[in-house]
Amino acid sequence: MKKEETDKSINYRHRISETYDTASQERHVAWGLKLLSFPFQLLVLIRYLFNKRKDESEFLITNVEHEFEESGESAELKKELLRQEERKAAFLDQSLSRSDIEKNAEHHFQRARQREITKRINDHYGKSDTRPQDFLHETTSWMREPLGFLLSLVLGFPMYLLLWIVSVPMVRYIANRLVAMLFVIIGVTVIVFTLLHLSPSDAALNILGEQATPQQIENFKQVHGLDDPYIVQLWRTVRGIFTFDLGTSFEGNEQVVATIMRRFPVTLQLAFFALIFSVTVALPSGIYAAVKANTTFDHLFMLIALIGISIPSFWQGLIFILTFSINLGWLPATYSASDLSSLIMPAVVLGTALMASVARMTRSSTLEVINEDYILTARAKGLSNKHVILRHAVPNALIPVITIIGLQFGAMLGGAAVTEQVFNIRGLGNYIVNKQFVPDIPSVMGGVIYIAIALSIVNLIVDLMYSFLDPRIRSRIKNGQ
């Protein structure tokens, strides 16, 4: 039992070292592994330099000896020393046997050979281009040893988190998207901040009014850091993304992050109800319109969808208020946090355009799919029409539909300013639009960063849904494509 546990431990360390070796083939991942295990890498470096000196000496000795033998110089030296011993014995008139002469020649040959090899090693030491063991090999070989593995675990635990991320395809895909999302957010922040900085509108003058004195305007800019250089203000904004501190608004002197977090639940609730309403109506209607193409239902439904796309949301909201609130008295005209029914009309108004877009896309995508060869094959096998549509056609038709839903839902999370204004909803859309006319730079930047994060997260969720719906996409992710 103990031997089995030992074997499992050895196999586990070998798998870890092989994973490290494979991950280190990518340069950016290799640098990440080294940085996350810096104390352990220092120990590996010390061991590497010690072993390198030792291994290189052994390698050079073996290499020089091999070259000396292969070049024929060793045989020539041996023959020359044998001839010298023969001439020496003849000159001194020594009565030596042949074996004695060869023995003396061999003794001198070994000494001369050692001197020649030592000379060549001294001439070429450290200049060999071929190293018997590199740093990566030293790291992986030490990780296979119990002590080295324990040290790597204690001193470089974050490295193992990165190894886990890069070794699991789906996790790596998500991590890559999150890193890309970070760069998108920073890029959007830089662009929007630059445009606001170059804007001719003066926030101090707009807030304080025309009657403000130059001293008051100067004090305002000094308090809010508007007199700092452009690069200082930009760095303060970018740093605020990571510290969750985007400063205070010019108007009202409120913490921007706190204000956004206070208004976000309302916008999320509105967007979620609008999404549920639109998807619940649009998906079955679009599929049924595709199955019953060119029928009365299809033509009528497409007409309604066209009207839904074309109708202005503010006009639709006013008509709803006039009809269902004033005339019929069924629903409240304005939003109230304590009354959930006050979200019905805003959700329907906000979801109307999405419902129409999703319905049209569902119909066209389903029509395209049901004419594919594999659908004809499924029908030829005798499967029922309902089974063919729901099991084979709809999943493949949902890819473009999910794209539309994701983009529209991300836009709704960014805030539907018109709908929120009509129904007096204190959401993010209303907040961002009002602040951009000041311009209240911290508030606008907070709204922009929030929208960038919301859209990035929604797009990531949409891409993950692609992989669940389409095996081809899932296969590409597993292959690291």
Q: What is the mean pLDDT of each run of 10 residues along the chain (481 residues)?
A: 59 79 80 85 81 56 64 75 75 69 75 72 51 66 81 84 83 84 87 82 73 78 80 86 81 81 85 88 85 82 82 83 85 78 84 85 84 75 75 78 83 76 80 75 82 84 78 67 54
In the three-class reduction of DSSP (H, G, I as helix; E, B as strand; rest coil), residue 254 is classed as: coil
Q: What pLDDT does residue 66 have?
A: 63
Alpha helices in 224-343 (DSSP H): 230-243, 256-291, 296-310, 313-320
CA distance 186 to 193: 10
The closest of 407, 438, 443 to 428, measured between CA atoms, is 443
pLDDT for position 387: 75
Query: Which pLDDT belongs to residue 352?
Result: 85
What domains can be seen in the chain, in order of their start residue?
Answer: 2-167 (no CATH), 256-437 (1.10.3720.10)
Residue 305 structure tokens: 């969808």
Tell me, what's the pLDDT at 435?
Answer: 78
Distance of CA 417 to the CA centre of its chain: 31
pLDDT at residue 133, as a whole number? 46
The total of other beta-carbon atoms located within 10 Å of residue 23's CB is 18
What does the pLDDT read at residue 129? 41
Contact 405, 353 (CB under 8 A): no
CB-based contact 404:361 (threshold 8 Å): yes
Instruction: Determine contact, residues 447/428, Cβ cutoff 8 Å.
Output: yes
pLDDT of 132:
39
Answer whether 0.75 is exceeded by the pTM: no
DSSP, collapsed to helix, strand or coil, labels residue 371 as coil
The answer to whether residues 11 and 149 touch, using CB atoms and an 8 Å cutoff, is no
Residue 139 has a pLDDT of 81
The CA distance from 38 to 148, in Å, is 14
Which is nearest to 193 in space by CA: 451, 450, 441? 441
